[in-house]
Structure 1
Amino acid sequence: MSEAGTFLPQEVIRTKRDGGIIADADIKRFVTGITDGSVTDGQVAALGMAVFFNGMTPEEGAALTLAMRDSGDVMKWTELGFEAGAPIVDKHSTGGVGDKVSLMLAPIVAACGGYVPMISGRGLGHTGGTLDKLEAIPGYDPYPSIKKFADIVKTVGCSIIGQTGDLAPADKRFYSIRDVTATVESIPLITASILSKKLSAGLNALVMDVKFGNGAFMDSYEKAEELARNIVRVAGAAGVPTTALLTDMNQVLGRTAGNAVEIFETIEFLVNPKAADRRLVDITLDLAAHMLSLSGAQPNFDVARDKAAVALMRGDAAALFEKMVAAQGGPTDLFEKRDNHLKLSSVVKPVLAGKAGHVAAMDTRAIGMAVVALGGGRTNPSQAVDHSVGFTEICQIGDSVQADQPLAMVYARSEAEAEDAVNRFRTAVTISEAAVNAGPIVAQTIGE
């Protein structure tokens, strides 16, 4: 351990290498070194590997999370006109295919008394990003000033923005080194990475959507549960009450995958929820209820879920979504003129089932990669995406299909890309003679 007044990064590494517990002060100084460059890439990599093999206690994880959070800007809502203890709450998903839940969730929670300052990311690999979807809306500004961000949260109740370079910069460097040193999969480091960015929003409560299945980052249920429990423990130790839901990502969530197509589905969901995909409705209302009850905006889960359902069904959430879009530079008539504002590719082809039967399984990751191949995703963070491509009318496990019935519709930039997407999608779906029922969308809820 480092002596008072003398910081020795190698001693911090040695402590964790030997299975010891690192003092909070040493974690803080190590993270400062990551931020200002006084700790070398080799030392960062060595600590990452030591944590990978020996883990961290919840207290160490909380210290690492808070140090990385404090390496950049942290929202202080009381200084921005909010009362102390206001129900400032957010949700984070570990990512999936067709996961547009944040887009409906934020206005539903806002309509029921919560404040949702949602800081979202872009897609990478097979998973889509909330920010990419919102940028399919012309004029939408994902990077307002902090003052404007706070004003929108206060007046509308929710605002969805992107991560800036001033947000948890220590995590950005730590992650880039972990990425090339085979330590990304460390549960304590994943936890600190997620929470440092989320807690920089100054939250009073957080709800996690931790996905499992073949379209999830954590494909194993056991690994997803381990991550969820660790996040709940560490966030609690950091002073932010957190609930985690384990949710199924063994099929596309909803009926679309892409960017503009998911905005279309979001609008349809908000204006005509009775016709929406039931799994999408269930997960959205469950997450909303947990956000509202955990933050204190509503007294308990049952009351919160009822109020969330009412806010959705009578159009309150739809009105707030459109108001948020307009406040961030988007059109004021998005819902009414969505066909004019949201551009879809002109090449459209069906993915025909080819045989009659029941949809029995789906390689969800492969479908996500088919969106990437169309141009709707990216393989490195600097790539631009084509918002106009993707899949609509996506089948769900348990659906009965005829041979000439589409499993999905493809929107592509060219005939060749459309044909490739058709083949990718058809290969990713298994059709059986016997009927199959999908499991529940929410498999488990984990709280403190």
Structure 2
Amino acid sequence: METAAEGIIVYDESGCIETFNRSACELFGREYVVGVQIQDLFEEQSATHDALFPNCMLTSEDDHPLEVSPEDGMCRAHPIELSARRNGGSSFCAEVAISRCVRNGLVLFTMLVRDLSQRKILESRLNQARKMESVGNLAAGIAHEINTPIQFIGDNLLFLQNAFTDLEALFDAYDSFLQTETSSDTVASNLQQIRQRIESADIPFLKEELPTAIQQSIDGIERVAGIVRAMKEFSSPTADCKALVDLNRSIRNAIKVSQNHYQDVAEIETYLDATLNDVHCNAIQINQCILNLLANACEALQHDDLVHLGKITVRTERTEETARVMVNDNGPGIPESILDRIFEPFFTTKEVGQGMGQGLAFVYSVIVDQHGGQIRVSPTPAGGTSVCLELPLSAPSL
């Protein structure tokens, strides 16, 4: 015990610590804690007591499933994360695995403790790298999407500028006509000049094309403004916390900002439930989840012999207690042999350097771990893949 890398603590059913190895002393910054209550080493939270004192009557369907050995009555709780206290008041994230046994009628708990501080720092850096990768891809796509309307707005403005130059000469001819004497020779000369200017300006053509150019420019400006608004809502810092979120609006924004990634690969159809109420969630995280699912669907539909556009269907649905988001594609589907590995961090079927393997792992972490929801991936009857996210309509108590 004294040479073990993990902290090892043994305590009784009242919480009184009986043994405390050297690694545990270093983790908690204490020299001697025998006789101290185990609860004093952890932050007070709603689930802390149940985690520290696992009950063998729990089943695999409970919050803290146990593995029970019928031979000796020992039961082991699955490792969980708790906020632990160091001596001096600072806290750290600890992974604890607790086993419960009975010896001579005395209930004892053995805890293995591991400091996750460095792992959390690495995870944070990895998440930041993933976010930067997503931001880079989005920025490139949005720049492309904005560039197209900006180009035809510029072309229309150049056309309007040239048209105004011709019209300006015509206006000058009108002014000259109004300011000259009304002798027959002068009038005839000015009228001839006006006719030449009208012919040079091609007035019938301008009457037909000017309204179109102006309307196209207005549509282009609205398109750019829509993309900018969607991106602003999509990545608003004020949304980086749990609040009531319009899922349908988030999906529309995600489709708009990712248009460059799918427009040459797939058509997207949406069937959004108008009765779906606002959902209590983290808007930025959910937006990123939807983006990841759309990106995966697009990648599944990309292949060298692409002749017809693929199809991606996004649906929302309200049940009594949950909101569902379903993303289906008609691609080749996920091989059954890897179906149970797709949520593993760093697992990817892409070539080296083409993917981090964090997309679905991030989705799972957000939906299941942080929002208390569920995620299911399954093949569709017509071929392809169906991903279903379920989020509680109300704030879950995790």
Task: State the TM bucket, normalised to the shorter chain.
Answer: under 0.3
Structure (1/2) with the larger strand percentage:
2
Higher relative contact order (CA 8 A, sep 6+): 1
